[in-house]
Amino acid sequence: MFYLVYGVGIAWLLLPNLGELLIPVVAYMSVLLLMGMSSVLSRKTNAWLVLGGLSFVISDSIIGLNKFYSPIPDAHLLIMVTYYFAQFALFKGVFYQQQFDSRRIFT
């Protein structure tokens, strides 16, 4: 539910300024939010995957807001920090889940 409300809020801010990019941006936002939701709803979810999905959504939200809504001071830094944290957290979450699954097989 959080991602749905968040997506509507971001879309409300961006839509007036998208012009010709309306369809591609809405399509990308939809896929991005589905990825975020799947990090929460997956049977194999864990805290790292949820944090990674959320951080990735935040990273791309900053890109969209900075480009189509209002310039954000130090946007490039915020984008890269949230993006790299997302990559780290998603990797850690997958690695954690694989360790958990392998322990369950051998016990």
3-state secondary structure of 74: coil
3-state secondary structure of 41: helix
Reported as a pLDDT band with limits 50, 70 and 90, residue 102 is low
Query: pLDDT value at position 8?
Result: 95
Supply 58's token pair.
Answer: 């935040």
Residue 67 burial (10 A CB sphere; 0-12, 13-18, 19+): middle
Note the pLDDT tens digit of each residue in 37-84: 999 998 888 999 999 999 999 999 999 999 999 999 999 999 999 999
Q: For the chain, which residues make up each domain, given as ranges?
A: 2-106
Q: What is the 3-state secondary structure (H, E, C) of 9-29?
A: HHHHHHHHHCHHHHHHHHHHH
